[in-house]
Chain A
Amino acid sequence: MELIKELPEIFEEFAEQRKNSFLNIKQLKDKGVPIVGVFCTFLPQELPAAMGAAVVGLCSTSDETIPDAEMDLPRNLCPLIKSSYGFAKTDKCPFFYFSDLVVGETTCDGKKKMYEYLADFKPVYVMELPHRQTEDGYAAYRKEIIRFQKVLEEKFEVTITEDQIREAIRVRNREREALKNLYGLMKQDPAPMLGMDLLNVLTGAQFKFDKEESIKELYTLAERIQKEYDEGKHIEKRPRILITGSPIQGAASKVVKAIEDNGGVVVVYENCCGVKSVDELVDESNPDVYDALARRYLNIGCSCMSPNPHRFDLLRRLIPEYHVDAVVDVALQACHTYNVETIGVKRLVTEEFHLPYMSLEVDYSTSDIEQLNTRMAAFIEML
Chain B
Amino acid sequence: MRNIGIDSGSTTTKGVVMEDGRITDYLLLPTSAKPAESIQKIRRSLHAETADRIVATGYGRKLLTEADKKVTEITCHAKGAAWLSPGIQAVIDIGGQDCKAILLDERGQVADFLMNDKCAAGTGRFIEMMMRTLEVPLEEVDTFAAGREPASISSMCTVFAESEIVSLLAKGVEPGDIALGMIHAICRRTAYFARKMKLRGEVFFSGGLARFEIFRVTLEHYLEMPVRTHELAQYAGAIGAALM
Query: What is A's interface to B at a CB cutoff of 8 Å?
Result: 356, 368, 370-371, 374-375, 377-379, 381-382
Contacts and interface: CB of A to CB of B under 8 A. Distances in A.
A378 B117 contact: no
Interface in B87-140: 98, 109-113, 115, 117-118
B7 to A, nearest CB: 13
Interface residues of B, number: 15
Interface string B214-236: 00000000000000000000000
A130 B63 CA distance: 53
A120 B98 CA distance: 43
A382 B75 contact: yes
A381 B71 contact: yes
Contacts of A382: 74-75, 109-113
Contacts of B98: 371
A115 B116 CA distance: 34
24 contacts: A356-B112, A368-B117, A368-B118, A370-B59, A371-B98, A371-B117, A374-B73, A374-B74, A374-B117, A375-B117, A378-B72, A378-B73, A378-B110, A378-B113, A379-B113, A381-B71, A381-B75, A381-B110, A382-B74, A382-B75, A382-B109, A382-B110, A382-B111, A382-B113
A366 B221 CA distance: 38
Contacts of A378: 72-75, 110, 113
A371 B99 CA distance: 12
A160 B206 CA distance: 68
A359 to B, nearest CB: 10
A377 B59 contact: no
Contacts of A370: 59
Contacts, number: 36
A223 B191 CA distance: 53
Nearest to B113: A378
Contacts of B59: 370, 374
A382 B73 CA distance: 12
A378 to B, nearest CB: 3
Given A371-B98, A374-B73, A378-B113, 17 more contacts: A356-B111, A370-B59, A371-B117, A374-B74, A374-B115, A375-B117, A378-B73, A378-B74, A379-B113, A381-B74, A381-B75, A381-B110, A382-B74, A382-B110, A382-B111, A382-B112, A382-B113
A375 B115 contact: yes
Contacts of A368: 117-118
Nearest to A374: B72
A378 B57 CA distance: 11
Nearest to B58: A374
A377 B117 contact: no
A326 B59 CA distance: 24
Contacts of B111: 356, 382
A378 B109 CA distance: 12
Per CB-CB distance, the 9 closest pairs between chain A and chain B, nearest first, are A378-B74, A378-B72, A371-B117, A382-B110, A381-B75, A377-B72, A374-B72, A375-B115, A378-B75
Contacts of B112: 356, 382
B101 to A, nearest CB: 12
A377 B113 CA distance: 12
A356 B117 CA distance: 20
Contacts of B73: 374, 378
A131 B168 CA distance: 49
Contacts of A377: 72
A356 B111 CA distance: 8
A374 B73 CA distance: 8
B231 to A, nearest CB: 26
